[in-house]
């Protein structure tokens, strides 16, 4: 009998983090893939991935709407609580043999707690890493609720071991998003001109150099979200290279960031920026791979950019302590320092490729492990 494996996807970045694994699970004759789409992954405001998923031949098994508007600390908690209630019904209906949860977003807690309390073995992808936000608390909490750990590298493996998890349930698989990054890197295709037509703002000239910005609010600095983004906006406009700026995710403070971006677009007719919401993973990776550099605080700058050798300007504390390659230049929220860093990185050219987050075979490794590992919620914690 096939093992029924249910993956809960809560946000647009999470899909890229698991796509190659989902395809490998779907193609495994001994596994049956179930996909639950929920939270911001369903909202056009943050880049719905429903169409992208279907185009990839991965139809969602269940769709759960649970996001409360407001993008505040309060709505984050209530969104998570609603997610738990709805996921309990979904798991009761689907009867999976295991649930996959991904990384560290706050909505991930809903799938982790629900699976744990329903005695469904929980498989955690990308545990054991550290960052400078609420994500770290969520990630380590999910690790303690999980039964199988599929980590990106030795550093993460050692940390999950130090948390007392059974070593026979911890596996170094690399990050599935590196599979996609290596694929587009090997193809070395130019960015499709149609991508530059998406979004709103200044018209991008495909033949001219461009930079990309992805900057999200930080929960611990919730009240500073607007002022933090203004430092980057001013530096970008001063640098004056055509820019593609991706809308922030749903974390608390994103309303402040969105407000600042809308205001800037409305009152700056000579802006060099075009704003976008979302792109399918491969198209997005092609877009950043062909850019001069990536600016902001997204984990894309730490993970996928490492294998691409893409110059990155990482701003603020969101990625504090996360393992990084030589392509990342860290700066604080300061207009002049951000400008200087962009000037350096945008003119640097590609860095050496680094495999600290995987070497391109993560999806297959993950499917093989899920097929063979003993799935149980009983474990001996090793303190």
**Which pLDDT value is given to residue 267?**
77
**Which pLDDT value is given to residue 8?**
97
Q: Rounded to whole angstroms, how far apart are CA atoms 314 and 329?
A: 6
Task: Give the tokens for residue 291.
Answer: 């850019």
Q: Per this entry, what is the length of the chain?
A: 383
Give the residue range(s) of CATH 3.40.50.2000 domains in the chain.
3-175+358-372, 182-346
Nearest Cα to Cα of residue 104 among 318, 382, 311, 330: 318
Q: Count the neighbouring beta carbons within 10 Å of the beta carbon of residue 116.
A: 18
pTM: predicted TM-score of the whole model, two decimal places: 0.91
Q: Which fold has domain 3-175+358-372?
A: Rossmann fold (3.40.50)
**Which pLDDT value is given to residue 366?**
98
One DSSP character per residue, 106-156 reads TTHHHHHHHHHHTT--EEEES-S---SSHHHHHHHHHHHH-SEEEESSHHH
CB 59 within 8 A of CB 35: yes
**Which pLDDT value is given to residue 212?**
98
**Which pLDDT value is given to residue 261?**
85
Q: Which fold has domain 182-346?
A: Rossmann fold (3.40.50)
Nearest Cα to Cα of residue 166 among 369, 382, 378: 382
Q: Which runs of E-coded beta strand occur in the chain?
A: 3-9, 31-38, 62-64, 98-102, 122-125, 148-151, 170-172, 200-201, 211-214, 243-246, 273-276, 294-296, 312-315, 328-331
What is the residue whose two structure tokens read 């199988």? Answer: 148
Encode the chain (383 residues) as per-residue pLDDT tens digits.
Answer: 899 999 999 988 889 899 999 999 999 999 999 999 999 888 877 778 888 899 999 999 999 999 887 778 888 899 999 999 999 999 999 999 999 999 888 889 999 999 999 999 999 999 999 887 778 889 999 999 999 999 999 999 999 999 999 999 999 999 999 999 999 999 989 999 888 989 888 899 989 999 999 999 887 787 888 889 999 999 999 999 999 999 887 777 788 888 888 888 887 777 899 999 888 899 999 999 999 999 999 999 999 999 999 999 999 988 988 999 999 999 999 999 999 999 999 999 999 999 999 999 999 999 999 999 999 887 766 66
């Amino acid at each position: 009998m096939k093992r029924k494996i249910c993956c809960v996807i809560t946000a647009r970045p999470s899909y890229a983090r698991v796509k190659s694994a989902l395809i490998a699970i779907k193609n495994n004759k001994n596994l049956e893939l179930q996909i639950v789409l929920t939270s911001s992954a369903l909202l056009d405001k943050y880049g719905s991935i429903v169409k992208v998923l279907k185009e990839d031949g991965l139809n969602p098994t269940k769709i759960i709407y649970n996001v409360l508007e407001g993008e505040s600390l309060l709505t984050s908690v209530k969104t998570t609580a609603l997610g738990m209630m709805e996921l309990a019904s979904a798991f009761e209906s689907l009867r999976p043999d295991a649930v996959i949860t991904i990384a560290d977003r706050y909505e991930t807690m809903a799938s982790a707690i629900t699976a744990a309390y329903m005695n469904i073995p929980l498989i955690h992808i990308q545990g054991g890493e550290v960052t400078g936000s609420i994500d770290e608390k969520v990630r380590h909490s999910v690790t303690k609720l999980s039964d199988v750990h599929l980590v990106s590298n030795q550093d993460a493996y050692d940390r999950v071991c130090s948390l007392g998890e059974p070593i026979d349930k911890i596996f170094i698989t690399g990050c599935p998003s590196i599979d996609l990054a290596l694929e587009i890197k090997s193809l070395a295709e130019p960015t499709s001109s149609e991508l530059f037509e998406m979004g709103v703002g200044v018209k991008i000239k495909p033949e001219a150099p461009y930079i990309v910005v992805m900057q999200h609010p930080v929960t611990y600095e919730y009240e500073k979200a607007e002022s933090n983004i203004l430092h980057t906006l001013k530096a970008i406009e001063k640098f004056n290279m055509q820019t593609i700026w991706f809308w922030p995710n749903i974390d608390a403070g994103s309303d402040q960031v969105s407000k600042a971006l809308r205001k800037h677009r409305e009152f700056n007719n000579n802006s060099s920026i075009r704003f976008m919401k979302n792109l399918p993973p491969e198209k997005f990776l092609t877009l950043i791979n062909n850019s001069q550099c990536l600016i902001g605080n997204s984990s894309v700058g730490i993970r996928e950019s490492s294998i691409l050798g893409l110059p990155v300007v990482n701003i603020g504390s969101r990625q504090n302590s996360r393992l990084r390659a030589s392509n990342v230049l860290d700066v604080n929220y300061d207009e002049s320092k951000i400008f200087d860093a962009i000037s350096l990185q945008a003119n640097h050219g590609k860095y050496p490729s680094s495999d600290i987050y995987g070497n391109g075979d993560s999806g297959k490794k993950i499917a093989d492990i899920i097929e063979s590992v003993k799935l149980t919620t009983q474990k001996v914690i090793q303190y």
